[in-house]
Amino acid sequence: MGKNKKQAENTIAAGYTLDYVSGEPIKETKKELVRQRVARALIHEYGFSPEDMELDFSIGGRKKVDVAIFHHGEEHTIENISRAAICRPEPNVGKNAVRIRDFDQAAKDLDELESIMQEVEAIKYGLWTNGLEFFFLEKEKKRFETKCNPIGDWPMAEESVGTKEVFSDAHTRVADNEMLKITFRRCHNFIHGNEGMPKDAAFWQFLYLIFCKMHDENLRAKQRKAWKRRFWAGPKEQFDPKGRKEIRGRIEELFTEVKKQYKNIFRGNEEITLSDRALAFIVSELAKYDFTRTDVDAKGVAYQELVGVNLRGDRGQYFTPRGVVKLVVEMLDPKENETLLDPACGTGGFLVATLAHMLKKFRDEQDTSPGDETSTEFLNVHERLKEYAAANVFGADFDPFLIRAAQMNMVLAGDGRGHIYNINSLEFPLGHLADLTNAKKEIPLGSVDIIATNPPFGSDIPITDKHILEQYELAHNWESDGEGGFRNTGVSKGSVAPEILFIERCIKWLKPGAGRMGIVLPDGVLGNPAAEYIRWWIMRETQVLASVDLPVEAFIAEANVNILTSLLFLRRKSDQEKRAEVLGGIEEYPVFMAVADKVGFDRRGNKLYKRTPDGEEIVEPRQHEEKFRIKGEWVKRVLTRKEKVEDNDLPVIAEKYREFLAELDGLTPAKKKSPGRAKGSANKKVAVR
C-alpha cells in the first residue's frame, strides 16, 4: 500500500535528511553532513538569507558550487553570485587529532575553488572545507592578474573585509552550536598535531587562550565605552610574521592580567608556549565569536568534547551525558536562594547545567530570549547569574586537574568566581587537601539545599582507608532485625564501593528536613538482594522523591561504560520526622517512577529519530525566529522548518515530573505528605513512550 499525502508530508525516508536551505529531503552522505553544517552556519552566524543560497549551482560545464550565495534579493544567475563554498567529506579520524594544514599544504585541494573564483567574475569570496579544515579566500584583481588570497574568515553577509577599517571593532557573532564544537576541535588539533605537543599540554594551552578571550569580554561589560578590544586578529594578520607578533603582544598582555585575576586557578608561572603561527591561528578562530552571548549549553558541549578526549580518568570518573545532567537539574529545579553542591564535580557538568537552568529562569522572568535582549537586559541577567554562582554554586573533587578544568568550564559559562574545592569529599570534614579549610567554612555538613552528582562507582575502585570507612554507617556490616528492618553490627568492612559511601555522605551534607538530591547510581544498589540494607537505610534517612531507570546507551556512547544506571532523587528527613516514624510507624506516600528507553542516540553515539512502524523518520514543522543581515541591518523573521523528531525520553520525563508535582500540590496535605516507606501500591509509575 502506498502512503497517503499526509504521511508523505510528515515523514522522510531513512538515509535522507532535510536540506536546511530548501527544506527538501536530500540523501544523507558524509559530504552532505558537512554541507548542511556549513549552510546552518552561513544562516545563523553570518546572517545570509536562505532565499539567497542555492546548493549544487552549476557554473558551466561540469563545474558546480556546493553552496552558492547570491546578492540579496537578486536572481540566482552566475552574474549575481557573490560567494562560493566547496564541501568535502570529513576525514575519518574518530576521536584522534587530525593535522590542520596551512594554505600552502592544501594548495592542491584549493585549485578547484581558485579556478572557479577566477573564472566567475562576480565571486569575491570562496570557502573550501572538509568539516574540520576551513580555508577562506578573497579575490584580488590586479591589472595583469587575479589572485586568491587567504583570509582568516569571511565577513558577515553583505559586508566585505574592508568594511571595517579597525579590525579590533569588527563584528563578533553568536556561535552556532555545531560550529563552536568544531572550532574547539580545530584549535586543539592544531596545537596537538602541528606543534607536536601532547594532548594534555595542548588542552591547557588552548584553555589559557579561552581565559584570555573571556577576560577581554568581561572587561567589555565593565568598561563599556572605555573598553578597547585586545583579543582579535585582522583577516590577514595570521598569515604575516609581523601580524603574528602583534597578536602575541596583545594576548600576552591579557594573559598576565588573567593570572592576576584568577589566583585561585593559576599559580602565576604559566606561559603561553605556542609558536606565533599557532597562537595567531587560534586567536583568529576564537576572536570571531562572542562567547558571552553564545548559549551556555553550546559552550558546555564544545568544552566537554575536548575534556572527554583529554582528561577522562581511570578511577570511575565518567563524564555524565549532557541529557542526563539536564534531566537531573530540571527535576531538582534549583531556586535562586538555594545552595547547590556537586561533591564529585569532575569538569563541572552539573554546575554549568545549573547556571544554564537559572539563566533561562532569569530571562523568563524579564520576558526576554537570547538575541532579543537589549544591552541593559543582557547585563542584568548575566550580573544576576554571576551573583547567584558566586553565592550558591559549589563543587568538589580530589583530582586537581579536574578542579582546574571545572573552574575553567564555570568561567566559560559565565561565573566570575567559582567555589570549586580540591578536597576528598568522602574524607570531609577530615583530610589534608588544599581547599579543606574554605570548604569546612562554606559548605559544612548539614548545610546544603541541593546536591546533584554522579559519583565514581565500581567494585574495582574500592575505598579501603579505615580512617574514611569509620565515618560511615554503611561501611559496617548490617544484619536483619527479624522485623523487616536491619541493624548495624558495629563490625567495619575492609572495603566498600565508593558509590555506597557517596550516598551517605551526600545525604549528610543536605539540610535536615528540606535538602534534596539527585544522584546517578549503578542499578545494583537499587536491585541486588545483597544491597537491601542500603535501601532500608536510605528509606530511614530520606523521603524518596523519584527514581528514573536509564538505558545502557546513556553512558556507553559518551563514556564507554557498559553499565545500567538509575537516577535516584531524595529529600533528607529531619530528626523530628525520623523520631515520629519510630513511634507511629511509616505512612505511604507517592513516588515518581519512570523508565527511559531512548536517550536520543544509539550505542555508537549516532543520533536517533522517531520513526513510523515501516521505518521512515517522522518530521514536524517547527517555528524558529531567525535573523538575517540585509542592507547592513539585522532583520528578524519567523521561519517554519520541518525537522526530524529526536527519539529521547528524557525531556518527556522532566515534563511528566512537573505534572506529577503539580498533581501533588492539588492533593490535601494529609494525602501528599507522609514521608515514609514508599510501598508499591502508592508508587506513581509514569509511561513515557
Grid look-up 534531566 returns 327
Q: What grid cell was written down for 385? A: 547569574
Which residues, including other chains, have CB under 8 Å from residue 186's CB and lie 6 or more apart? 100, 132, 133, 134, 285
**pLDDT score, position 627:** 80
Angle subtended at Cα 269 by Cα 237 and Cα 311, rounded to the nearest 5 degrees? 80
At 226, the pLDDT band (50, 70, 90 cuts) reads: confident
Q: What is the pLDDT of residues 626-665, one digit of tens each?
A: 788 877 777 888 888 888 999 999 999 999 999 999 988 8
**pLDDT score, position 345:** 93
Q: What grid cell was written down for 72? A: 540579496
**pLDDT score, position 639:** 82
At 510, the pLDDT band (50, 70, 90 cuts) reads: very high
**pLDDT score, position 4:** 53
Beta-sheet strands, E only, within 423-532 = 450-453, 476-480, 486-492, 516-522
**pLDDT score, position 416:** 59
**pLDDT score, position 8:** 54
Q: What is the pLDDT of residues 344-385, one digit of tens each?
A: 998 899 999 999 999 999 999 988 877 677 778 887 888 899
561-584: average pLDDT: 90
- Tell me how many helices (H) and strands (E) the chain has: 21, 22
Name the helix (H) or strand (E) containing 16: strand 16-18
Interatomic CA distance for residues 556 and 137, integer angstroms:
41
**pLDDT score, position 315:** 44
How much of the chain exceeds pLDDT 70, in percent? Answer: 90
Are the beta carbons of 339 and 510 closer than 8 angstroms? Answer: no
User: How many other β-carbons are positioned within 10 Å of the β-carbon of residue 41?
Assistant: 23
231 SS3 class: coil
576-595: average pLDDT: 88
Are the beta carbons of 339 and 450 closer than 8 angstroms? Answer: yes
Interatomic CA distance for residues 214 and 292, integer angstroms:
8
Cis check: omega of the bond before 241, within 30 degrees of 0:
no
Q: Which residues of 650-688 are buried (b: 16+ CB within 10 A; e: fewer)?
A: bebbbebbeebbeeeeeeeeeeeebbbbbeeeebbebeb
pTM above 0.95, yes or no: no
Candidates 508, 504, 552, 509; CA nearest to 525 is: 504
**What are the C-alpha distances in Å from 8 to residues 25, 440, 612?**
11, 62, 11
Interatomic CA distance for residues 426 and 462, integer angstroms:
12
**pLDDT score, position 670:** 47
Q: Is the pLDDT of residue 198 over 70?
A: yes
Q: Residue 54 class from Cβ within 10 Å (0-12 exposed, 13-18 middle, 19+ buried)?
A: middle
Q: Is the pLDDT of residue 264 over 80?
A: no
185-205: average pLDDT: 83
Q: Is the pLDDT of residue 274 over 80?
A: yes
Q: Is the pLDDT of residue 567 over 50?
A: yes
**pLDDT score, position 308:** 64
Which DSSP state fits 176? P
Q: Is the pLDDT of residue 683 over 50?
A: no
At 576, the pLDDT band (50, 70, 90 cuts) reads: very high
Q: Residue 455 class from Cβ within 10 Å (0-12 exposed, 13-18 middle, 19+ buried)?
A: buried
In this predicted structure, which of 81-85, 516-520, 583-587 has the lowest mean pLDDT? Answer: 583-587
What is the dihedral sign for C-alpha 316, 322, 326, 329? positive
Angle subtended at Cα 188 by Cα 110 and Cα 178, rounded to the nearest 5 degrees? 75
**pLDDT score, position 286:** 92
**pLDDT score, position 280:** 94
At 486, the pLDDT band (50, 70, 90 cuts) reads: very high
Q: Is the pLDDT of residue 433 over 50?
A: yes
Q: What is the pLDDT of residues 293-348, one digit of tens each?
A: 888 877 887 887 777 666 554 444 557 888 999 999 999 999 999 999 999 998 89
Q: Is the pLDDT of residue 139 over 90?
A: yes
Interatomic CA distance for residues 616 and 601, integer angstroms:
17
Average pLDDT of the chain to the nearest whole number: 86
Candidates 516, 518, 478, 472; CA nearest to 497 is: 472
Query: Dihedrals φ, ψ of 635, to 5°?
Result: -120, 130
DSSP 558-572: HH-----EEEEEEEE
Write the single-letter amino acid at 483: E
Are the beta carbons of 215 and 257 closer than 8 angstroms? Answer: yes
Choose from 6-20, 165-179, 449-463, 497-511 the range with maximum mean pLDDT. 497-511
**pLDDT score, position 428:** 95
**Which of the two residues, 367 and 200, has the higher pLDDT score?**
367
Say how many residues make up the chain: 689
**pLDDT score, position 310:** 62
Angle subtended at Cα 501 by Cα 522 and Cα 329, rounded to the nearest 5 degrees? 60
How much of the chain exceeds pLDDT 90, in percent? Answer: 52
Interatomic CA distance for residues 419 and 411, integer angstroms:
11
Interatomic CA distance for residues 330 and 567, integer angstroms:
13
Q: What is the pLDDT of residues 35-91, one digit of tens each?
A: 999 999 999 889 999 999 999 999 887 789 999 999 998 999 999 999 999 999 998
Beta-sheet strands, E only, within 21-159 = 25-27, 53-58, 64-70, 81-87, 125-129, 134-141, 146-151
Interatomic CA distance for residues 404 and 211, integer angstroms:
12
Q: What grid cell was written down for 573? A: 528527613
User: How many other β-carbons are positioned within 10 Å of the β-carbon of residue 461?
Assistant: 16
119-140: average pLDDT: 94
Q: Which residues of 80-108 are buried (b: 16+ CB within 10 A; e: fewer)?
A: bbbbbbbbbebeeeeeebbebbbeeebee
Q: Is the pLDDT of residue 420 over 70?
A: yes
Q: Which residues of 312-345 are buried (b: 16+ CB within 10 A; e: fewer)?
A: eeeebbbbbbbbbbbbbbbbbebeeebbbbbbbb
**pLDDT score, position 247:** 95
At 685, the pLDDT band (50, 70, 90 cuts) reads: very low
Angle formed by the axes of helices 296-310 and 400-413, to 10°? 160
Which DSSP state fits 193? I
**What are the C-alpha distances in Å from 664 to residues 519, 528, 586, 630?**
22, 31, 19, 51
Grid look-up 598576565 returns 256
**What are the C-alpha distances in Å from 304 to residues 319, 505, 669?**
8, 27, 43
**What are the C-alpha distances in Å from 372 to residues 363, 369, 428?**
10, 5, 45
Q: What is the pLDDT of residues 384-410, one digit of tens each?
A: 998 999 999 999 999 888 888 888 888
At 228, the pLDDT band (50, 70, 90 cuts) reads: confident
Are the beta carbons of 542 and 572 closer than 8 angstroms? Answer: yes
Q: What grid cell was written down for 26? A: 536530500
Interatomic CA distance for residues 512 and 509, integer angstroms:
9
**pLDDT score, position 656:** 95
**pLDDT score, position 112:** 92
**Which of the two residues, 161 and 207, has the higher pLDDT score?**
207
At 507, the pLDDT band (50, 70, 90 cuts) reads: very high
**Which of the two residues, 171 and 592, has the higher pLDDT score?**
592
The β-bridge partners of 65 are 57
Interatomic CA distance for residues 277 and 252, integer angstroms:
15
Are the beta carbons of 474 and 495 closer than 8 angstroms? Answer: no
**pLDDT score, position 682:** 34
**pLDDT score, position 558:** 66
**pLDDT score, position 676:** 34
Q: Is the pLDDT of residue 554 over 70?
A: yes
What is the dihedral sign for C-alpha 170, 290, 235, 154? negative
199-211: average pLDDT: 85
Q: Residue 585 class from Cβ within 10 Å (0-12 exposed, 13-18 middle, 19+ buried)?
A: exposed
